[in-house]
Amino acid sequence: MPWLALRLELEAAAADSFADALLEAGAHSVSTDALDNGPWRLSALLALDADPASIVATASAIAELRASPSYRVEQVADEDWVRRSQAQFAPVSIGERLWVGPTWESPPEARRAIVRIDPGLAFGTGSHPTTRLMLRFIEQRVRGGERVLDYGCGSGILAIAASKLGAAQVDAVDSDPEAIRSAAENARANGVAMLAALPEGLPPAARYDLVVSNILAQPLIVLAPLLASRVSRGGRVALAGILESQAEEVRRAYAPFMPLGVSRVEEGWALLEGTH
């Protein structure tokens, strides 16, 4: 199946937030590549019938850019996109118990839970700072037997990692049907059982020991009452996809429900967590 590949360059300070904004605006996948002593190159995969100008304009508004960046578009086949993307996804070891990598990489000999995620059409391979922040949280907090909700699951990487580390029940939801399909396929490939569904597919009364959500600051603010209602008494929530400069605004949105604080910052991205 052919796709449209959108290519553009941005300064490093804006690249990560614009990549996330492209995903929110309708891109199926986004990769970034740091150029030598200069800007970052972004490559976004769009549906063949997508309107690139509209997606770039929407992403620019989400990322609060003063003007839309210039870009170019070309048509690519599935296999061409994957081949070009593979070199950008290096495996990562998280803490002492977790390893995340693509299928063509060999895991370390040290005993770790192994999560296999290949680059695809849904966000989440472990290469982005926000994903690494969340994986560290999961590696530290999941000790066995927990109920875990991954809200905005993308590829399902966080839910799969939680299951591999011993969570008893793992539910993963996303508003994008393509992400649900990708998460379900990745779960099967990793040999884990989990619910992958649209948000309305969650059991109405379900509460969780851990609720994780790695999306963007503004959606997280809007979702504050919903996410807080899903945390069991004494349970924990962790939020990412938040620039350090946005952390206080997100914290205030959750203050009526539970106290949150910044627990870690990586490359300008913050992880907020707290207990219900």
Which is more confidently placed, 202 or 88?
202
Q: Decide: residue 58, CB within 10 A, 0-12 exposed, 13-18 middle, 19+ buried.
A: middle
CA dihedral 139, 141, 143, 148 (to 10 degrees): -100
- Position 95 pLDDT exceeds 70: yes
Average pLDDT over residues 227-246: 93
Which of 82, 113, 115 shows the shortest CA–CA distance to 96?
Answer: 113
Q: How far apart are the first and last CA of the chain?
A: 46
Dist. CA 8–CA 267, nearest whole Å: 21
- Position 122 pLDDT exceeds 60: no
pTM of the predicted protein model: 0.73
Confidence of residue 75 (pLDDT cuts 50, 70, 90): confident
Average pLDDT over residues 190-208: 93
SS3 sequence, the chain? CEEEEEEEEECHHHHHHHHHHHHHHCCCEEEEEECCCCCEEEEEEECCCCCHHHHHHHHHHHCCCCCCCCCEEEEEEHHHHHHHHHHHCCCEEECCCEEEECCCCCCCCCCCEEEECCCCCCCCCCCCHHHHHHHHHHHHHCCCCCEEEEECCCCCHHHHHHHHCCCCEEEEECCCHHHHHHHHHHHHHCCCCCEEECHHHCCCCCCEEEEEEECCHHHHHHCHHHHHHCEEEEEEEEEEEEEHHHHHHHHHHHCCCCCCEEEEEECCEEEEEEEC
**The pLDDT value given to residue 88:** 54
- Position 123 pLDDT exceeds 70: no
Dist. CA 256–CA 176, nearest whole Å: 29
- Position 263 pLDDT exceeds 80: yes
Q: Which of 33-47, 146-160, 204-218 has the lowest mean pLDDT?
A: 33-47
**The pLDDT value given to residue 121:** 45
- Write down all domains in the chain, each with its CATH number in brackets: 2-86 (3.30.70.260), 92-275 (3.40.50.150)
Sheet with 2-10, side-by-side order of all strands: 29-34, 40-46, 2-10, 72-77
Dist. CA 58–CA 21, nearest whole Å: 8
Where residue 232 falls (left for φ over 0; alpha for ψ -120 to 50; beta otherwise) is beta
Residue 44, both tokens: 């976004």
Average pLDDT over residues 183-187: 93
**The pLDDT value given to residue 239:** 97
Q: Are 188 and 125 in contact (CB under 8 A)?
A: no
* CB neighbour list of residue 251: distance below 8 Å, 6 or more residues apart: 260, 261, 262, 272
